[in-house]
Structure 1
Amino acid sequence: MKTSPLPLAEAQARLLALAPQLPVEHRAVAECLGHYIAETVPARRTQPAAPLSAMDGYALRSADLPGPWQVIGESAAGHPFAGVIGAGQAIRISTGAIVPGSADMVLLQEDSASDGQTLTLTGEPPAPTERHIRPAGMDFSAQAALLAAGERIGPAQIALAIAGGHGHLPVRRPLKLTVIDSGDELVAAGHPLALHQLPASNGPMLCALAASLPTVIRHVGPIADRLEDLAAALDSAHDADIIVTSGGASVGDHDLVRPALEAIGATIDFWRIGIKPGKPLLVARRGNQVILGLPGNPASAFVTAYLFLLPLLRAAAGAEQALPQTISARLASDMGKGGSRMEFLRAYWDGDVVTLDTLQDSGALTPLARANALVVRVAGAEAQAAGTNVPVYLLGNGGIA
């Protein structure tokens, strides 16, 4: 096992290579929100199946311009015209209704006048003549790929799958995640505190981060700093695909995650990352189970969860793109030199410039709650002047981007 801190990219690559391979199952489309497509999904039908009118008006033959025309019937959505339009004839047509094959033009109602029997042209005909007709297969054709493997399923993908004739979709089985808080100083949310105690906020924060992904989450703790208690908590999560702990992953006398993992037969894969905050991150395995030990300071736990836990969950769920991507944003003010580690600075991006928070302590939650972005400062970076473009991770709503 390496003892020197790993670079971020190497650590992420090693972690994602350990992602559990979850079985594929077919779930009802309405239950697939937030999942990732496991296999390419082809269309089972053509959309639209026949030419449709895009506007309200009259279907007719462009060869009969400039009219007049005899109105011989109507085509409405769900109630197509059963006949054939001949020379000098037209039918009333509604948006979404089938255009008879003998017609090649829809004349808008505002460009025409009708007494119910005779239709006359009062404005300009459409140019080109088929402008207001949605051709068959305009959206997709049967057997065309609707959804690609690794694509995340959102509301639009649900609608597309249903339109393509699907009632079920192939997705990975929801991942089983156990989140464990540990530390003698921690007290469950809402309970009275002594001066030496802290509310156990990391566990609920990590659960909330994971909640946007297809996971079944179990929260355990807070667990006291006793080796047997922490080992028992880890062992109780034997059926989890992934375990994430918060706190106790360093080398102090009360940092017991490593010996507890050894006690349950887990193997340390790597430990310590060259980033700030978040250096004492630990990755271990027990059979096919992956155990991720995050630091205890809240900003450190959040940043490492964003950079490691969420990508691991995405990879296990079948995401094509598991790692978050940076954008380039301009600094609102000067940024000082970097230190010996790559840093992730809490910041606020307003769509134009990114402003660093004045408080970057890894134990502070206020700047974390204010932040919607992380500014990346590489190790040994020179000072950057205001207006310089820097790489930025956008945290999204609640940091789950």
Structure 2
Amino acid sequence: MSLLPLEEAFANVEKGISVLSAEQVSVADCLGRVLAENVAARLTQPPAPVSSMDGYAVRAQDVLSQPVTLTRVGESQAGGPYDGTLADGECVRIFTGAPLPAGADAVIIQEDTDVFGDQITMKEVAFEGKFVRKAGLDFSEGDILLHKGRVLSARDVGLLCAMNVPWVKVFRRPRVAILATGDELVMPGEAVRESQIISSNSLMVAALVQAMGGIAVNLGIAGDTEESLRETLSGLDCADLLVTSGGVSVGEYDLVRKVLGEEGLDIDFWRIAMKPGKPFMFGHIGNKPAMGLPGNPVSSYVTAFLFLRPALRKMQGGAFEQDKPVQVILGAAVPENGVRQEYMRAVFSQDPDGNLVATPYNKQDSSMLANLAHCEGFIIRPVNAPALSAGEKTQAIYLKDAMVSV
């Protein structure tokens, strides 16, 4: 079977992923969620002209020169406005955020006054609007301030509250069923026999799912028998997407494709022109999309980074898109590439001129998790790319594990 070019694999996965339905959640629980509709302000902020400083509300025409003495006739606080109307020669003590009384159009800050009982001497002139926040300075009722597709941040939560919005409609969080396969796998902390290895892929992928706003449903480890695999798959009903780890390459005990096929899996493609990650599978089991990640840890992560992250983004109403490459200078030479596009683990630095330098690890084995954990990005080596020397320019992408809600 020939290898599917990477561009075609991306396009096929994008076509095979659908946006999930929307649900309504409290503004207190919306952090990191993706808006399913535009949100408009339900009030004007501030609703009336307010003071931006502590001082005295005045009529600007009364303070065209200084010094001038006015009579204090009341006080305006944020929770207790002055109800009267200012007349000639009057002022009102006012605090930050308090509404201006009728007739007032400026504020003299308290540092620019002398107080003698109710007689307030103004030592600065005023002009209309001085230290006044106009009504609607921030926003007005009906203004659309947050748009469909936005990932809600902590700042957005504050804005929603100020907009007097208690509930928002967001896309449902994808429930991703994660299945690891192999008799050789044991969970972290369990006794490890000579022929066994620790299962890292499923928890690593689960963490990536959570970082992208999804809900990871760990189905556990299926043994290398059809019965064990079918039993483990019984938990698939509650999920929107199935992700398997291992069992999709060519081998005597690789049963995932066989068993899932008997369960109704329709394979779109299997094996792509990518390194690491050639044995990557995509299809549908019933109406659920299914991804089969390779068993090698680095291959599993790289394919999840390139395919699963955009899929989760699209399921939550976002765009199915890859991280945009940046131009870098190679910190070490790289050999010519073959027929698979390669993603080389690398660390980044800056040269004396401020250029971004990407230095690949000497060893790029797909089993080396320590290099993966410490690398800062991938150098992209296109199909049949020529050898490059240190100092030459190429393309790279950053790893981004940060939560979607930042």
TM-score relative to the length of structure 1: 0.90
1:53-68 → structure 2 map (5 Å cutoff): 53-65=51-63, 66=65, 67-68=68-69
Cα 1:400–1:101 shift into 2, 3 Å: closer
Distance in 2 (alpha carbons) for counterparts of 1:158 and 1:30: 8
Per mean C-alpha deviation after superposition, the further-off stretch among 380-389 and 50-59 is: 380-389
Q: Does 2:395 align with 1:390?
A: yes
Structure 1 residue runs of 4 or more that deviate by more than 4 Å after TM superposition? 398-401
The DSSP-based 3-state class of the residue aligned with 2:260 is helix
Offset of residue 210 of structure 1:
0.9
Q: 5+ unaligned residues in a row in structure 1: which ranges?
A: none
Distance in 2 (alpha carbons) for counterparts of 1:35 and 1:146: 16
Q: Does 2:377 align with 1:373?
A: yes
Offset of residue 180 of structure 1:
0.5
The DSSP-based 3-state class of the residue aligned with 1:157 is helix
Cα deviation per residue 1:222-241 (whole Å; 9 max; x = unaligned)? 21222332233234313321
Cα 1:376–1:31 shift into 2, 3 Å: same
**Given that residues 333 and 389 in structure 2 are in contact (C-alpha distance below 8 angstroms), is that contact kept between their aligned partners in structure 1?**
yes
Distance in 1 (alpha carbons) for counterparts of 2:392 and 2:93: 60
Cα 1:56–1:331 shift into 2, 3 Å: farther
RMSD value over aligned CA atoms?
2.5
* Amino acid across the alignment from 1:376: I
1:26-45 → structure 2 map (5 Å cutoff): 26-45=24-43
Per mean C-alpha deviation after superposition, the further-off stretch among 372-381 and 143-152 is: 372-381
Q: Show the counterpart of 1:360.
A: 364
Distance in 2 (alpha carbons) for counterparts of 1:80 and 1:398: 43
Distance in 1 (alpha carbons) for counterparts of 2:169 and 2:130: 38
Cα 1:400–1:99 shift into 2, 3 Å: closer
Q: Show the counterpart of 2:185.
A: 186
Cα 1:16–1:146 shift into 2, 3 Å: same
Q: Show the counterpart of 2:149.
A: 150
Distance in 2 (alpha carbons) for counterparts of 1:194 and 1:217: 28
Distance in 2 (alpha carbons) for counterparts of 1:399 and 1:143: 28
* Amino acid across the alignment from 1:380: N
Distance in 1 (alpha carbons) for counterparts of 2:336 and 2:158: 47
Kindly tell me the number of residue pairs found equivalent between the two proteins: 396
Q: Does 2:291 align with 1:287?
A: no
* Amino acid across the alignment from 1:73: G
Q: Show the counterpart of 1:249.
A: 248
The DSSP-based 3-state class of the residue aligned with 1:141 is coil
Distance in 2 (alpha carbons) for counterparts of 1:400 and 1:186: 33
Cα deviation per residue 1:91-146 (whole Å; 9 max; x = unaligned)? 222222112342222222223332342333335x57x7535322222222111112
Q: Does 2:76 align with 1:72?
A: no
1:161-240 → structure 2 map (5 Å cutoff): 161-240=160-239
The DSSP-based 3-state class of the residue aligned with 2:237 is coil
Offset of residue 329 of structure 1:
5.0
Offset of residue 161 of structure 1:
1.6
**Given that residues 35 and 213 in structure 1 are in contact (C-alpha distance below 8 angstroms), is that contact kept between their aligned partners in structure 2?**
no
* Amino acid across the alignment from 1:290: P
* Amino acid across the alignment from 2:42: R
Offset of residue 218 of structure 1:
1.6
**Given that residues 212 and 403 in structure 2 are in contact (C-alpha distance below 8 angstroms), is that contact kept between their aligned partners in structure 1?**
no
Cα 1:85–1:13 shift into 2, 3 Å: farther
* Amino acid across the alignment from 1:153: L
The DSSP-based 3-state class of the residue aligned with 1:69 is strand
Q: Show the counterpart of 1:117.
A: 118
Cα deviation per residue 1:263-322 (whole Å; 9 max; x = unaligned)? 111100122222221121101102221111011111111111111112111211222x34
TM-score relative to the length of structure 2: 0.89
Q: Show the counterpart of 2:310.
A: 311
Q: 5+ unaligned residues in a row in structure 2: which ranges?
A: none
Q: Show the counterpart of 1:8.
A: 6
The DSSP-based 3-state class of the residue aligned with 2:194 is coil
Distance in 2 (alpha carbons) for counterparts of 1:80 and 1:346: 63
* Amino acid across the alignment from 1:245: T
